[in-house]
Chain A
């Protein structure tokens, strides 16, 4: 069906959302057009293309993109398409093309900034309308490309908010990712894990800040981790800190989960406060804090380390955990299929133990053998199954509705609540974008 703005707006009420928002294929197409192919969407981190000639594939909505680094060290974002007969140019996720990108079909050659360099048997174009300097024969550039602190984004809208204005309060995620490095730089570790969720992209975002789910969804893992920890302690040893990230699921309990506030920033971004106690006083952490003091001075270092965040959602495509150096980006594939790229970063200048600790979390929570996300993925798939049925029309977002409060344009959850604020907040942003007909916001 075709959806009018009025019909779209009716899908989102202040405290509930119609199931069609998650399952309708035409709504999905409109989301691609008005959200993913309009807003700033994450491409990748500069360290993914470390050396001249490096390239990395990305996706903006339905558009295949490629990020490159040219011989001068400049980063470019281009459509991954050959302007000759339209073939996709690169197919490997990443690689190095120091001498330029070469199409496998008829060998048109492109510079890393997308300009056409040459091709075999060029004399065949003499006297035709073909002109090697005409941009229509170059790889197309998205209308807007920008980066914030080394994190690259593209927007397919000609006009709209600048990247920084769009990121608004969520800039904190990137500041925290970078500033937590005593060396003031970070870089990706290896390749990302690519995991497909059998569910709508919004279900993933909604889960990230949902503090009412971990104790239930992850009960088995919390219990198992707690048991193993206590077995290790019985032998007089200290369990690795990463195990504690899992046993928290059991330890915290429903009362505990009410202690972590959520915040809703303009443009749909949101955060959940930290709960993992990542500022312990063990020798490894002390050594790290010492390096931070040396790098920034005590006052500034304390300011950086005082920020306690679990997740930052950068609408519509990122979930970032700065204290654990992790970033997940989503690439929606269909109303019921979502690709995630899960990245881990190394803090330059930090001691190895800090890296290992975060890597432990990355493994236990985000690897393809995860004992944590396994049950999340399962619940999201179940949500998708239920929402595709006629068993009911609405999704409830009522928890603590009416008790959130606003300060300077930023929403805060009521104290001691597991408010569904972030869910309501994101869906209100969704409604704004979806009824703006792709004009940005």
Chain B
């Protein structure tokens, strides 16, 4: 199990931690900026959000504790993310033409834990509308981030995304992170 996944397991996922206004604002600003990056398709900035071994993870089941070794809806390291960006923006990514458009709202931001080294576990809710092939579809769920404090600001070591309709059935495929 990865270090960040272990931290999420060990942390109380209902905990409310007293944090300074500065910390709360910095964490919120990070989450809002991540949503904006997706909405604006700024892919270099997207990759820069993650640590070198960071993962974007959407489990297939609620009881999963780690993305390693089990089926997932998303389980992506930087290499797979780079592959996805290249593939989705390739002129012959047939199903991606015309490109989609996303619009996120992130809310209910609760800092769950602050580690001694300044790392943060934060949970939040999101709603994302996607305009794709001339139709709107909706994604809703929970985020749980393990944010590493670095000299360049926070970086995502692990982002867990629990979609409200996780078990499907899926009458579409998800080609971008939500």
Contacts and interface: CB of A to CB of B under 8 A. Distances in A.
Interface of A: 93, 189-191, 193-196, 198, 217, 219-221, 223-225, 227-228, 231-232, 239, 243, 246, 339, 344, 352, 355-356, 359, 362-364, 367-371, 373-375, 377-379
A378 B95 contact: yes
Q: Max chain B CB contacts within 10 Å: which of A196, A219, A243, A367?
A: A367
Contacts of A359: 69-71
8 tightest CB-CB pairs across the interface, nearest first?
A378-B95, A220-B90, A224-B86, A224-B87, A194-B169, A196-B171, A220-B93, A194-B168
Interface residues of B, number: 34
Given A369-B175, A378-B94, A193 B87 contact: no
A231 B70 contact: no
B84 interface: yes
Contacts of A363: 71-72, 75
Interface in B63-77: 69-75
Contacts of A194: 167-170
Contact of A228 (B82, B95, B170, B174): B82
Contact of A374 (B58, B86, B173): B173
B71 A367 contact: yes
Contacts of A232: 79
A356 B71 CA distance: 10
Contact of B71 (A189, A220, A370): A189
Contacts of A198: 171
B61 to A, nearest CB: 7
19 contacts: A93-B167, A191-B61, A191-B167, A195-B170, A196-B169, A198-B171, A219-B90, A220-B93, A243-B79, A363-B75, A367-B72, A368-B168, A368-B173, A369-B73, A369-B174, A370-B173, A371-B83, A371-B87, A371-B175
A246 B175 CA distance: 16
Interface string B108-139: 00000000000000000000000000000000
User: Is chain A's binding surface mostly helix, strand, loop or mixed?
Assistant: helix
Contacts of A227: 83, 86
Interface string B136-178: 0000000000000000000000000000000111110111000
A223 B86 contact: yes
Nearest to B74: A369
B60 interface: yes
A397 B170 CA distance: 31
Contact of A195 (B69, B71, B74, B169): B169
Contacts of B82: 228, 231
Q: Max chain A CB contacts within 10 Å: which of B58, B74, B169?
A: B169
Contacts of B175: 369, 371, 374
A377 B173 contact: yes
A368 to B, nearest CB: 4
Contacts of A362: 71
Nearest to A221: B87
A374 B95 contact: yes
Contact of B90 (A189, A223, A246, A364): A223
B92 A193 contact: no
A220 B97 CA distance: 12
A193 B71 contact: yes
Contacts of A243: 79, 83
A243 B173 CA distance: 20
A375 B92 CA distance: 10
A375 B93 contact: yes
Nearest to A228: B83
Given A196-B170, A231-B82, 12 more contacts: A189-B71, A190-B60, A194-B168, A195-B169, A220-B92, A223-B87, A228-B82, A231-B79, A364-B80, A367-B60, A368-B168, A375-B93
